[in-house]
Amino acid sequence: MKSIQIDRSKSLIEEPEKGHNRFHPDIPPIIEVEQGEEVVLETRSAADNQLKRSSTALDLLATSPNRAHPLTGPVYVKGAEAGDLLEVEFLDIAPADWAFTGVRPGRGYLKGEFTKPFLAIWDLEDGWATSKQMPGVRIPGAPFMGVAAVAPSHDMFRQWTLREANLLAEGGAVRPPEADSAVPSTEPISTQGVRTGPPRENGGNMDVKQMTAGSKLLLPVGLDGALFSTGDAHFAQGDGEVCLQAVEMDATATVRFRVLKGEAERHRMRGPHLSHTEFFSDPRFGMPRRFTATMGLPIREDGSNASEDLNVACRNALLEMIDLLEGREFSREQAYVICSVAVDLKISQVVDSPNYIVTAFLPEDIFNV
């Protein structure tokens, strides 16, 4: 069994030989492994050690997004070549003993709705997350890796760079390459490397909560060895992760690799696939026994119809859920956190024009009674 071990008292910037926080095809591997070999990867939280168990909401404001989503790796998988599929089997995801969820003004799905910072520090024990900042709430654990990725090929990297530059020029929500706090810090990676924040064709920050232990992730290989990396572990998350953070934690992932020769090219796979043969979490919570739901329509605040706009419908379902939770004496920030770590946003129908439906499902068993 091979491993990449980290010093959890240090940030990635202080231990750059153990990972990276940018994607670039020229980042070298840290270890080489055989197919079928179990590999243990110790990972840092998305904040890269900028937040501690004693941190406050003011500390959240001081964190730098340039350091976000540090990854452990890359891992060179022998036998993997461009055009193959890399199967990543998650054997175990062991959580740390604490985690955090923050609301930062100007960030997250409801960017303009929140003006005060808020930070919940969670204790993780016996499969549950509880927090002094979230009284009466306990979140069941279903640990998974938010980021899992292979390195891009040089051609794919050029495509990313061009399309994201074009999107930025059009006013799109893109963070361009930035050398500040980049790991590796050497040229040209530091100035050209794209951020590990968004998901792309290579995987990346997918935040798919069903990617728990027992799942198998398929990633199209772009370079020899695939160059796999992972990080940004979550103890729990609602489908949507709407405040930009789930129950964010350090973790230790145990994985196993298999190379499917030529399968990505043969099936023209353009992105990740995921499978699971068992319940991805305790079925009492993965498919909640008791729930309350709010339904969003594509109707704007002025009463006009946005016609088939799922974004407007999603926003309305979420705002309705926040209002509902405020009616239960949670603050607006607490309600937003609950929506991010426990509420599942689901597309209910996309055929009944002009009004599609997005539904927000709140599991009632997260509340202590």
pLDDT for the residue numbered 295: 98
Mean pLDDT of 153-161: 98
Top-level class of domain 288-366 = alpha beta
Q: Is it true that the peptide bond before 288 is cis, omega within 30 degrees of 0?
A: no
Percent of the chain, pLDDT > 70?
100
Top-level class of domain 2-284 = mainly beta
Mean pLDDT of 63-84: 97
Whether the per-residue pLDDT at 93 is higher than 70: the answer is yes
pTM above 0.85, yes or no: yes
Whether the per-residue pLDDT at 286 is higher than 70: the answer is yes
pLDDT for the residue numbered 182: 98
Domain range summary for the chain, segments of one domain joined by +: 2-284, 288-366
Question: What is the tens place of the pLDDT at every residue in 290-348?
Answer: 999 999 999 999 999 999 999 999 999 999 999 999 999 999 999 999 999 999 999 99
Instruction: Say how far apart CA 47 and CA 40 lie, in whole Å.
Output: 21
Whether the per-residue pLDDT at 369 is higher than 60: the answer is no
Instruction: Say how far apart CA 244 and CA 109 lie, in whole Å.
Output: 7
Whether the per-residue pLDDT at 284 is higher than 90: the answer is no
Mean pLDDT of 73-94: 98
Instruction: Say how far apart CA 313 and CA 349 lie, in whole Å.
Output: 11
Mean pLDDT of 267-293: 90
Whether the per-residue pLDDT at 188 is higher than 90: the answer is yes
Mean pLDDT of 59-80: 97
Instruction: Say how far apart CA 140 and CA 368 lie, in whole Å.
Output: 12
Mean pLDDT of the chain: 96
What is the three-state SS of 212-264? ECCEEEEEECCCCCCCEEEEEEECCCCCCCCCCCCCEECEEEEEEEEEECCHH
Mean pLDDT of 178-187: 97
